[in-house]
């Protein structure tokens, strides 16, 4: 500060290191003061970082060496000065006199209050709040920092609070300015403590006092109070001063010379002789001897600390070597286990390849015989007897082909079971189909069999191995189809649930997926009443919400949680009883645990359907279970209102606030009980919150959803009640003949699944019609339904 009598009008402006808000504050000062009457003091409180970046991560300052911390904080300080120079340039262009004042503190608010008191400021300007919180009617400060300064700052200082270039309010001075003569009587260096004039040399301290000038004061002063770490760092030398040494230097040694490095060969005489000569003092030699004794004791303690430090370093190095040895042993053990697993997999792979080669040879022979037969029939050169022989051969080959196919399926099943026993995870068995079978089932992928089409390819309906199925064919030009195909197989082959679509098998030749056929299409089609179908009742919609919630809970609570990632009505399919099943897991992801114990999947290219995508996933690329919760909330609101997904959450929220929710409920679903509709609306809004942390966990909401399902079931028709028995067993687990849970389900020619023993008894008793439709059966062959059997077994394990 200037000496009394030489002071000029000063305006202190508190500015952040690098912020658009800081330029707004400075612009207000430049526009409201004259450049020939004041000097602008740019004031900045610098907070040293406590986490130091190093080797791609961040470490606490206490875990690094003082030299490393010193180097980083010097670089940090230089960056702060460089950014503040932009403010100086702005003032210089406006022809204002300007100075820079920087202060180090652990807290901005406390630092500003301390600066105001230290410099006896009478005119101070700072921000009132962040710019994005500014409004025209704003009359009071918003940020915690500005509130603290307004309350705690010296009452003799007038403080102007600015936001986005506008004066929000002014705290007038309620006391006259402090007597500057009293301030001037204080030691000059005391007033300059913690202040860094431009281009001055300095030391940086981890104490609360922050940074001190690069010289010792002439007159005796008390050292500033210490906080945080107990050492100080000199940027120019990279040396460390312990508490003992720095304390003695602060209290008992005062000199005109530069700062002294406390080395082992330091001589007390050389420290004090210049001071005695310059001042001509006759200080008591006893005091000098006492100072020397204290310095020597401090140096002795420093030597002891060095020995202790070296011992600790040796112990740490030994511990690190032991840890490295243990890690190496663990890696060797893992390598041996992996090698053993690879050898086992290689043997099974060879067996599978051998069976596959036999199947390929038989298929080629079968095609050749079929071509010969067709040519012979066309040319008319074969007699009936020869045709019969060829037919018999074809039948034998076909029977052998089926047997080999079953053997291959059994081999795949055994391989999967072996993988399970070796710790690689459980896989649900599914069949491998040939392209020829798919072509026969769909009449060479005729358009009459096509039931859907998308960016990935087309979906066909077909009758495959006596079962009605849906076949999803990958489009040859789809760039992302192959990874999505592999991801869907990876997910659906490791889990089964009544509300997840069942994967029956795959065709690797054409990257095709074969699912159970769900005759009622997607939930999107039913909401649009496509094909003239009747609207879904409010009871069915409530049950579908519960089923989706149950499926998401199953996916999220797995040992390796799965996020669907593209949850929307188009990917929710309905079976003959309008039971919903999640499908299309092509972009689903397994979550990985981060160093913050958070399950998350990160990507630079978020994918999905925009109206149902988590806003935070779009902005950050982080996919979590809460992303599915957001999509679930939008689906709830769609089922409730029947309206498009865009801005649906805002519309429902406005309706609730204006007490007009009954006006936007979908009337085509029937007469919703208002309490039921209101609970669903609030649940949907909670799930569709923009901020991920505000969305609920589905597990905590399950009791509410379950009670809503129960309420809806009380007023539902008998056809719906028949889907679940008193114990909650899904209806498709029950044998239509025995009315018991099936143990060995088989598919008959009518497309229905029965208990093997029951349907065989029906056929053996002379019946030639379907037990369900009473229509004639085209044949009496039965096909095992492995997928359904696996789902039943899994359900029974979870519901003993």
Is 439 within a domain? no
Task: Write out the H or E segment, with its range, that includes residue 53.
Answer: strand 51-54
Same domain, 748 and 650: no
Same domain, 735 and 716: no
Which amino acids are annotated as binding site for ATP, given as ranges? 472
Is 231 within a domain? no
Last residue of one domain, picked from the residues 162, 185, 208: 185
Q: For position 408, what pLDDT does the model report?
A: 62
- Residue 694 sits at φ, ψ, to 5 deg, of -85, -10
Same domain, 644 and 744: no
Indicate which CATH number applies to the domain containing 18.
Answer: 3.40.50.620
Which amino acids are annotated as binding site, given as ranges? 472
What is the number of helices (H) and of strands (E) in the chain? 22, 28
- In the three-class reduction of DSSP (H, G, I as helix; E, B as strand; rest coil), residue 91 is classed as helix
Query: Is 131 labeled as catalytic in the residue annotation?
Result: no
Nearest one of 708, 540, 570, 706 to 631, comparing CA atoms: 570
Task: Write out the H or E segment, with its range, that includes residue 192.
Answer: none
Same domain, 752 and 704: no
- Catalytic residue (choose from 203, 234, 566, 750): 566
Same domain, 709 and 735: no
Same domain, 92 and 15: yes
Domain that holds residue 21: 10-185
Q: Are 716 and 544 in contact (CB under 8 A)?
A: no
Same domain, 134 and 73: yes
Instruction: State the Cα angle at 289 between 284 and 290, rounded to 5°.
Output: 95
Q: Number of structural domains, the chain?
A: 4
Is 108 within a domain? yes
Please state, as a whole number, how many other Cβ atoms lie within 10 Å of the Cβ of residue 453. Answer: 12
The residue whose two tokens read 């120079």 is 85
Same domain, 24 and 130: yes
Q: For position 205, what pLDDT does the model report?
A: 35
DSSP code at position 533:
P
Same domain, 622 and 570: yes
Same domain, 663 and 571: yes
The pTM for the full model equals 0.43
Indicate which CATH number applies to the domain containing 742.
Answer: 3.30.40.10
Is 726 within a domain? no
Q: Are 340 and 280 in contact (CB under 8 A)?
A: no
Distance separating alpha carbons of residues 567 and 582, to the nearest angstrom: 8
Is 307 within a domain? no
Indicate which CATH number applies to the domain containing 528.
Answer: 1.10.510.10
Is 784 within a domain? yes
Q: What is the mean pLDDT of each run of 10 residues along the chain (800 residues)?
A: 56 85 87 87 92 84 86 88 88 90 91 92 90 80 90 93 90 76 35 34 35 32 33 35 34 32 34 38 65 82 83 87 88 86 83 85 84 73 70 78 66 53 47 87 89 80 85 72 74 79 85 88 92 91 93 85 88 90 75 56 71 86 88 95 93 93 92 91 94 91 89 56 52 81 88 87 85 81 82 76
Same domain, 666 and 740: no
Distance separating alpha carbons of residues 184 and 757, to the nearest angstrom: 106
Distance separating alpha carbons of residues 319 and 784, to the nearest angstrom: 60
Last residue of one domain, picked from the residues 402, 425, 448: 425
The residue whose two tokens read 């795949």 is 412
Is 737 within a domain? yes
DSSP code at position 522:
B
Is 2 within a domain? no
Q: Which residues make Cβ contacts (< 8 Å) with residue 554, sequence separation at least 6?
A: 495, 497, 499, 500
Q: For position 195, what pLDDT does the model report?
A: 34
Last residue of one domain, picked from the residues 170, 185, 200: 185
Q: For position 187, what pLDDT does the model report?
A: 34
- Residue 448 sits at φ, ψ, to 5 deg, of -70, -20
Same domain, 740 and 703: no
């Amino acid at each position: 500060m200037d000496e009394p009598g030489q002071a000029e009008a000063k305006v202190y402006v508190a500015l952040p290191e690098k912020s658009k808000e800081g330029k707004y504050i400075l612009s207000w000062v430049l526009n409201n003061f004259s450049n020939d009457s004041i000097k602008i003091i740019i004031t900045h409180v610098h907070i040293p970082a406590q986490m130091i970046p190093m080797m791609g991560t961040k470490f606490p300052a206490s875990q690094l060496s003082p030299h490393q911390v010193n180097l980083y904080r010097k670089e940090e300080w230089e960056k702060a000065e460089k950014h503040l120079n932009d403010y100086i340039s702005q003032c210089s262009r406006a022809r204002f006199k300007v100075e820079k004042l920087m202060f180090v503190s652990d807290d901005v608010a406390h630092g500003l209050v301390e600066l105001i008191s230290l410099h006896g400021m009478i005119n101070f300007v700072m921000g009132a709040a962040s710019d994005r919180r500014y409004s025209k009617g704003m009359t009071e400060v918003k940020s915690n920092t500005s509130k603290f300064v307004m309350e705690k700052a010296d009452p003799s200082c007038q403080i102007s609070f600015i936001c986005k270039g506008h004066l929000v309010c002014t705290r007038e001075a309620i006391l006259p300015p402090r007597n500057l003569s009293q301030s001037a009587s204080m030691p000059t260096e005391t007033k300059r403590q913690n202040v860094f004039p431009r281009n001055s040399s300095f030391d940086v301290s981890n104490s609360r006092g922050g940074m001190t000038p690069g010289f010792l004061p002439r007159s005796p002063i008390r050292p500033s109070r210490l906080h945080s770490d107990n050492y100080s760092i000199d940027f120019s030398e990279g040396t460390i001063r312990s508490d003992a040494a720095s304390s003695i230097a602060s209290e008992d040694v005062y000199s005109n010379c530069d700062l002294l490095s406390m080395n082992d060969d330091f001589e007390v005489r050389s420290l004090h002789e210049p001071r005695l000569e310059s001042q001509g003092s006759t200080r008591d030699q006893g005091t000098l001897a006492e100072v020397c004794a204290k310095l020597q004791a401090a140096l002795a303690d420093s030597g002891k600390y060095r020995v202790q430090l070296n011992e600790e370093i040796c112990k740490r190095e030994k511990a690190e070597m032991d840890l490295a040895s243990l890690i190496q042993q663990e890696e060797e053990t893992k390598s041996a286990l992996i090698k053993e697993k690879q050898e086992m997999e290689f043997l099974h792979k060879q067996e599978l390849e051998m069976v596959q080669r036999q199947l390929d040879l038989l298929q080629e022979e079968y095609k050749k015989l079929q071509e010969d037969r067709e040519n012979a029939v066309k040319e008319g050169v074969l007699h009936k007897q020869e045709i019969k022989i060829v037919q018999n051969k074809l039948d034998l080959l076909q029977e052998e082909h089926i047997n080999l196919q079953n053997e291959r399926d059994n081999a795949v099943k055994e391989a999967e079971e072996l993988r399970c026993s070796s710790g690689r995870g459980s896989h649900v068995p599914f069949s491998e189909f040939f392209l020829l079978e798919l072509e026969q089932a769909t009449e060479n992928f005729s358009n009459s069999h096509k039931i859907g089409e998308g960016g990935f390819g087309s979906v066909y309906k077909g009758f495959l191995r006596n079962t009605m199925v849906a076949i999803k064919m990958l489009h040859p030009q789809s760039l992302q189809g192959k990874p999505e195909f592999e991801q869907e197989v990876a997910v659906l082959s490791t889990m089964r649930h009544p509300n997840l679509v069942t994967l029956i098998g795959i065709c690797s030749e054409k990257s095709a997926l074969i699912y159970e056929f769900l005759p009622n299409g997607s939930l999107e089609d039913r909401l649009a009443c496509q094909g003239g179908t009747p609207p879904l009742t409010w009871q069915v919609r409530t049950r579908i919400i519960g089923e989706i919630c149950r499926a998401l809970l199953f996916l999220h609570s797995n040992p390796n949680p799965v996020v669907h990632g593209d949850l929307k009505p188009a990917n929710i399919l309905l079976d003959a009883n309008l039971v919903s099943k999640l499908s299309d897991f092509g972009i689903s992801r397994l979550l990985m645990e981060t160093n913050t114990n958070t399950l998350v999947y990160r990507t630079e290219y978020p994918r999905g359907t925009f109206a149902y995508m988590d806003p935070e996933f779009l902005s950050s690329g982080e996919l979590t279970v809460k992303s599915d919760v957001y999509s679930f909330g939008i689906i709830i609101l769609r089922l409730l209102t029947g309206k498009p997904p865009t801005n649906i959450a805002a519309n429902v929220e406005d309706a609730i606030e204006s007490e007009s929710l009954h006006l936007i409920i979908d009337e085509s679903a029937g007469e919703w009980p208002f309490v039921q509709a209101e609970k669903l609306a609030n649940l949907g809004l909670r799930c569709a919150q923009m901020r991920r942390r505000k969305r609920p966990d589905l597990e905590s909401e399950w009791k509410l959803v379950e009670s809503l399902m129960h309420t809806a079931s009380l007023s539902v028709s008998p056809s719906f009640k028949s889907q679940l028995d008193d114990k909650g067993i899904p209806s498709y687990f029950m044998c239509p003949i025995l009315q018991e849970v099936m143990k060995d389900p088989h598919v008959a020619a009518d497309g229905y699944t029965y208990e093997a023993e029951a349907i065989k008894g029906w056929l053996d008793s002379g019946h030639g019609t379907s037990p369900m439709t009473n229509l004639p059966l085209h044949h009496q062959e039965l096909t095992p339904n492995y997928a359904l059997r696996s789902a039943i077994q899994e359900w029974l394990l979870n519901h003993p």
